[in-house]
Amino acid sequence: MLKAKKYDWKDSNMALFGSDTEKKVKKESAETEPAWNGAGADVGIQIWRINKFKVEHWPKDQYGEFFNGDSYIILNTYKEPEGDELKYDVHFWIGTYSTQDEYGTAAYKTVELDTFLDDKPVQHREVMNHESDLFKSYFKNVTLLKGGADTGFRHVQPEEYKPRLFHFSGPGAKIEMKEVPLKKGYLNDEDVFILDNGLVIYQLSGPKARNMEKFKATQFLQTLKSQRGGKARVIEMREPTEEPEFLELLKDGGPKDKSTEIPDTDCNKVFRISDATGELLMTEVPVPDGKITPDILDSNDVFIVDKKGGSCYVWCGSGASPDELKNWCAYSHNYLKETSYPWKAVTAMKEGQEAKGFFD
């Protein structure tokens, strides 16, 4: 049994209101956040970054770029092929080095955005380097960068530039660009690399690199040249040994060997989050025959459903209490931290909004 701090209803304004009034208060509170003005009004993607507990609009020309020291909120507004109703998926993305305050704020603000949109969105937690296919589908390319947005390469003078090595790879047309350490061991002959040294930029296209990887790297290269006012000199290579200066910028060493086997739960697991006893408790629920079926769940509570070979889901019952609903993120996050797969994607669904394949 996992146990949280006891929730003191006396200290909560939520205890003073019935469900309808409470929803009204929450909606009014969400409407005071300036960043949500226009959120979800039209079909498309909107992104915000968390900066010192505040929600900031992320520049559209940087959509798809994420810094490993930051946390972001991503809203996808769409319509079904046959229908005019606006629907939503809202994701909060956690960078590897994002602080607890930042991703905690992102999680809280994601719930607030959900309230602003009348509880219609499906909510998702995304962890850097383990993003869901749905998340990746929003962008032509996903670019992962070191540092925080305030230390981004766009704001540095070329003459003062610290070298950065970018790796382009991926299946099909979905090419991912990652910033990797300046080490020789990260190079290979199957992908494309750009070493940005300010006024000199090296492009290394391995002999086995695919045309799509070369194309995406060239697009990025053109952006860099534009940012440098056309002053940057570009050196193209097929082998790293062609340019001694290129190798001098790299250190010895490479990535640590990692198992190609992705850890996961060995069976479907279900946990109930309930405050029926006066304390908010998380308890494991038996799963007969290992199958997720509706009779395991209870509309009065929230459940974490960790599926083997799939996502970790949070199922929010229609009669769940405010305390249960607002703590699903912390409970699922802390639960996954104790597993061998803390990066696993989390999707929070309301009763009646179950994802395809949720029930066995």
| 114 found inside a domain | yes
Comparing CA positions, the residue from 199, 203, 273 lying closest to residue 236 is 203
pLDDT value for 357: 84
Same domain assignment for residues 354 and 288: yes
DSSP 140-191: SEEEEESS-GGG-GGGS-GGGPPPEEEEEE-STT-EEEEEE-SBGGG--SSS
Domain termination residue (choose one: 117, 138, 155): 155
pLDDT value for 322: 87
Same domain assignment for residues 41 and 68: yes
Mean pLDDT for 89-116 is 92
| 22 found inside a domain | no
Q: Are 256 and 305 in contact (CB under 8 A)?
A: no
Domain termination residue (choose one: 221, 248, 275): 248
Parallel, antiparallel or unpaired: strands 233-237 and 200-205: parallel
Same domain assignment for residues 44 and 135: yes
| 27 found inside a domain | no
Same domain assignment for residues 218 and 192: yes
Same domain assignment for residues 267 and 342: yes
Point out the least confidently predicted range of 49-58, 90-99, 148-157: 148-157
Residue with tokens 């690399």: 193
Q: Residue 353: helix, strand or coil by DSSP?
A: coil
Instruction: Report the domain count for the chain.
Output: 3
- 110: CATH: 3.40.20.10
Would you say residue 14 has pLDDT above 90? no
Cα separations (Å) of 226 from 9, 83, 158, 220, 340? Answer: 57, 42, 12, 10, 43
User: d(Cα 162, Cα 147) in Å, to the nearest integer?
Assistant: 12
Domain termination residue (choose one: 103, 124, 155): 155
At 3, the amino acid letter reads K
pTM, entire model: 0.77
| 38 found inside a domain | yes
Same domain assignment for residues 150 and 62: yes
Cα separations (Å) of 81 from 84, 85, 87, 197? Answer: 9, 10, 12, 46
| 228 found inside a domain | yes
Same domain assignment for residues 237 and 324: no
Same domain assignment for residues 163 and 144: no
Would you say residue 17 has pLDDT above 60? no
| 73 found inside a domain | yes
Domain residues for the domain of 354 are 1-17+262-360
Same domain assignment for residues 126 and 215: no
End-to-end Cα separation, the chain, in angstroms: 25
pLDDT band at 15 (very low <50, low <70, confident <90, very high): very low
| 25 found inside a domain | no
User: d(Cα 107, Cα 111) in Å, to the nearest integer?
Assistant: 7
Residue 59 sits at the vertex; the CA angle it makes with 101 and 194, to the nearest 5 degrees, is: 95
Same domain assignment for residues 186 and 298: no
User: d(Cα 303, Cα 284) in Å, to the nearest integer?
Assistant: 9
Mean pLDDT taken over the chain: 87
Same domain assignment for residues 347 and 266: yes
- Residue 141 φ/ψ region, left for φ over 0, alpha for ψ in the -120 to 50 degree band, beta for the rest: beta
pLDDT band at 12 (very low <50, low <70, confident <90, very high): very low
Output the 3-class SS for 301-324.
CEEEEECCCCCEEEEECCCCCHHH
Residue with tokens 């079909």: 43
Q: What percent of the chain has pLDDT over 90?
A: 63
| 256 found inside a domain | no
Same domain assignment for residues 170 and 127: no
